[in-house]
Amino acid sequence: MRNITAKLLVATISCALLNVVPAAAQQQGPSRIRGTIERVEGNNLTVTARDGTTQKIGLANDVVVTGLVKTTLADVKPGSYIGVTGMPLADGSQKAIAIHIFPESARGTAEGFRQYDLRPNSTMTNATVAQEVDANDGKSLTVKYKNGEKKVVVSPDTPIVDFVDGTRSELKAGVRIIAFVAKQSDGTLLSKRVLAGRDGITPPM
């Protein structure tokens, strides 16, 4: 059972961080909906998306829910495999908007550097922490991935989260989520994977 759970967690994380959709597909409907659950009715969620729109999302019978829990910069150490949601700086480094720490079972997931859709020009770097240097206003990390590396500037207020196994029961009014959806032939949205913030946190990626 533990191996199955680990595989589901890795699959959910992979979906979260490799969900790059071409423009033609995006016209069929969003691939990622970030927002707050307003209502749960059976297998259906009513979500207020971050752009203020109301989205109706159906949940697959086998939907996989992954929880996100708040942690601290102290848990980001040399050897940690992390994901950095960032914004490029003039010197070529990345200013961390958020960091998520992968479980060891997900080491290597979506490794590399790519564009991301959190903000205009935002990026995602999944890599291993090679070095960390204390600074007056946080830390500077050097992260390495296959064929490359990045310098990451992390401030004390950068949100940092861990992935944990979740349950469908976590999907209730008030919870902030990222739902990965596909538009069905009848125009409805169906989700097989959801990231759910615990203890009131907003999934920062």
Determine the structural domain holding residue 144 and report its residue range. 70-161
pLDDT at 135: 75
pLDDT at 138: 81
CATH of the domain at 28: 2.40.50.320
Residue 151 lies in a domain: yes
> Per-residue pLDDT for 30 more than 80?
no
In whole angstroms, what is the distance from residue 129 CA to residue 58 CA? Answer: 38
Q: Are 35 and 48 in contact (CB under 8 A)?
A: yes
> Per-residue pLDDT for 47 more than 50?
yes
- Global pTM reads 0.81
On whether both 89 and 151 belong to a single domain, the answer is: yes
On whether both 60 and 98 belong to a single domain, the answer is: no
On whether both 28 and 99 belong to a single domain, the answer is: no
Number of domains present in the structure of the chain: 2
On whether both 182 and 149 belong to a single domain, the answer is: no
Can you read off the two tokens belonging to residue 193? 């994977």
On whether both 118 and 155 belong to a single domain, the answer is: yes
Q: What confidence category does residue 60 fall into, taking pLDDT thresholds of 50, 70 and 90?
A: very high
Q: What confidence category does residue 27 fall into, taking pLDDT thresholds of 50, 70 and 90?
A: very low
Can you read off the two tokens belonging to residue 153? 């500037």
On whether both 37 and 83 belong to a single domain, the answer is: no
List, in sequence order, the alpha helices (H) in 19-169. 23-26
CA nearest 75: which of 161, 200, 204, 196?
A: 161
On whether both 80 and 151 belong to a single domain, the answer is: yes
pLDDT, mean of residues 2-20: 49
Q: What confidence category does residue 36 fall into, taking pLDDT thresholds of 50, 70 and 90?
A: very high
On whether both 110 and 32 belong to a single domain, the answer is: no
Residue 82 lies in a domain: yes
pLDDT at 137: 76
In whole angstroms, what is the distance from residue 117 CA to residue 135 CA? Answer: 29
Give me the DSSP letters along 31-81.
SEEEEEEEEEETTEEEEEETTS-EEEEEEEEEEEEEEEEE--GGG--TT-E
User: What's the pLDDT tens digit per position in 161-202?
Assistant: 999 999 999 999 999 999 999 999 999 999 999 999 999 999
On whether both 37 and 62 belong to a single domain, the answer is: yes
Residue 204 lies in a domain: no
On whether both 144 and 77 belong to a single domain, the answer is: yes
11 or 183, which is more confident: 183
User: What's the pLDDT tens digit per position in 147-159?
Assistant: 999 999 999 999 9
On whether both 34 and 48 belong to a single domain, the answer is: yes
pLDDT at 24: 38
Residue 202 lies in a domain: no
Residue 205 lies in a domain: no
On whether both 171 and 122 belong to a single domain, the answer is: no
